[in-house]
Structures are given as C-alpha cells and as structure tokens.
Amino acid sequence: MTQPYKSHGAGRVVLAHDGGLDTAVAIPWLAETYHAEIIAVSVDLGQKKEWLEDARDRALATGAVRAHVVDVRDEFARDYLVRGLRIGLFQDDPSAMAGTLARPLIAQTLVSIAGIEQARAVAHGDGRGGAALANAVRVLDPGLALLAVPASMSRDGHDRSAAFKTAGAGPEEAAYVDIALQRGAPTAVNGVPMPWLDLVDSLEILTRAHGIGPSPLLVLDVAHRALEAATMSSDAGRFAAEVAGEYRRMLGDGSWFSPMRQALDAYVDKIQERVGGVVRLKLFGGDCSVVECHVSTPSAPAIIPVAKG
C-alpha cells in the first residue's frame, strides 16, 4: 500500500520514468496533485541511446525539473542477468524475466537518486510489477513516501524496457556456436573470451539470423542446462527448481533485498562451482539444440567480465 504524502510546495518526487507517453503524462499530474517538483529517472538497462534521449527530452518537456538517465548496464548484467541464468530463470520467457529481474535494480536506482535530490517521495506505475517495485523501495528506505500513478495513466513499462527484439526467419543452413561457461557463467563464444554485454550482443546477431527468439538468453539457458545436467547430482537438480521458485517469489513480492536471498546466493555460488565447460549448439529453423558438451573442472574462482565505459 502506498503511503500518504503531502507537499507544501517545496517537496520533490522522484518518478520512475519508462520513457513512454503514459509516464510523461504522469509528470504534470504528480506536480499538480502533490504540489511538488518532479525528478524523472530513466534506467539504462541496454536500450537504444536514441530511446533514452527521447525519454529524457520528453520528461523535461512535460514539466520535470530534472531528468536523469542512469546507466546500470554493467550492474544489471553482473548482478542480475548472470544470476538469473545460474538460477535457471530463463527457461520459459527470458525477455519477461529479464524485465522482472530489473525491478530491484530500478528500485535501488530510484532510492539512490532520491537521496541525491533530497526527495521525500518516489512515484511509480500502478500496473504490473508496481507493488513489487514499491516494496523494494520501502525495504531500502522506509522513510520515503510511495506514490502510485493511476493505472489509466501508466502501464508500468519496466518489463518492456529490458526486453529483446523478436527474431526473424532463419536461413537454410545451420550454424554452430560454442559457448564456454565457468561456474555457471558464460565467458566466451567460439573460443573468444567476451564480457557479458558483448557476448549477448554477439549471440543476438546469431539467434536473430536463425529465427531463434525472443532473446539470446534462451540460447545461454540451453547451454547452461546442458552443463548442469552433466555436472550436478540428481538431488541438486531437483532442489534447483525449489530454489528458482524462491527467487521468483522474492522478485514478485519485492523482498529481493533480504537475508533469505543472500543465503540462497551463497548456495547457488557453491552448487555452480562445477558447472563449467564448453557446449556446442546447433542453430537451425528457429530451434537450438545441443550437439556436444565438454565438461571442465574449475581451478580458480570465476571471473565474470563486464564491459566498462
């Protein structure tokens, strides 16, 4: 439940701004309703730069006193997408799950900007995921008031912000790709070590060309599950489904920043120690299948490279 909030003309509200016309309309509504200055925050999870620039310009044009575009791509890849892959969250709908994984990071970003701007409240969409986002903000800073923009005004675009494009039709010849993983995290494609962001971009080119979609995360999940099946015991495999369910629950109810998640992280780190090797995949006709799976035992802690700058 959102907290009541009254401003006497000097308050500031940080708005989770997804860049759409719906949240742009919310800016003057919030300013008038709460007599507050509105600070718009768009979170860069890997969207096109032109889209982010349009979001900032639209926010300022509709009354925001400032519009921040916060680049969290590295952190999103390192602490959320890699973790989601290791947990096994990308088996069903990887695009939607990527958006769901973004919510805690969006909440963390909003709280950070609220502190910088000395804001007294955070506003968010009242649509899908709004309650989880609000709960995460409340955990991080209980002193912030929470304002929900009416659903008729905001469709909560956080999920679509992290989505990947749908793949097109594939060529007549198959393609083969080798994906190397260490401790459950991808480290190289076709023998070339890559940071996560570059690795995903390279795979997206291949998957789109061969009609595999809607996200390259699907291909990484296939490779990861193949190595898990070759390296994990049956008991660990069965328990993995329960662990993944707990992560989904925490994402759904906004309890991501909790001791429970930290404990589960430690378990996942331990169980993924032997999930390493190279998986050869065949991409053809919109399908991804495992051709070979070579297991290797790690001798050192995994290094998950993430591009900087």
* CATH number of the domain residue 225 falls in: 3.90.1260.10
Domain of residue 54 covers 12-161
**Do both 20 and 150 map to the same domain?**
yes
What does the pLDDT read at residue 24?
A: 72
What does the pLDDT read at residue 49?
A: 87
Calpha distance 71→47 (Å, rounded): 10
HSE on the CB side for 19, CA within 13 Å?
22
Contact present, 96 and 163 (Cβ < 8 Å): yes
What does the pLDDT read at residue 156?
A: 44
3-state SS, residue 16: strand
Which one of 109-113, 150-154, 198-202 scores highest in mean pLDDT? 109-113
Mean pLDDT of 280-309: 74
**Do both 191 and 287 map to the same domain?**
yes
**Do both 135 and 228 map to the same domain?**
no
**Do both 153 and 185 map to the same domain?**
no
- Beta-bridged to residue 295, according to DSSP, are 277
The lowest-confidence range among 118-132, 141-155, 229-243, 269-283 is 141-155
Residue 253: inside a domain = no
Residue 187: inside a domain = yes
Q: Which residue has the higher pLDDT, 30 or 164?
A: 30
> Nearest to residue 120, comparing CAs of 218, 229, 9, 19?
9
Mean pLDDT of 209-216: 87
The 10s digit of each residue's pLDDT in 44-74 is 998 888 889 999 999 999 999 999 999 999 9
Total domains in the chain come to 2
- The domain boundary residue, chosen from 161, 186, 210: 161
**Do both 180 and 287 map to the same domain?**
yes
Residue 262: inside a domain = no
The 10s digit of each residue's pLDDT in 267-276 is 999 999 999 9
- pLDDT above 50: residue 157: no
Tell me the pLDDT band of 297, cut-offs 50, 70 and 90: low
**Do both 58 and 143 map to the same domain?**
yes
Calpha distance 271→162 (Å, rounded): 28
Residue 142: inside a domain = yes
**Do both 72 and 143 map to the same domain?**
yes
The predicted model scores a pTM of 0.86
- The domain boundary residue, chosen from 161, 195, 221: 161
- The domain boundary residue, chosen from 104, 134, 161: 161
Q: By percentage, how much of the chain surpasses pLDDT 70?
A: 84
Residue 91: inside a domain = yes
**Do both 26 and 82 map to the same domain?**
yes
**Do both 190 and 155 map to the same domain?**
no
What does the pLDDT read at residue 237?
A: 83
**Do both 52 and 142 map to the same domain?**
yes
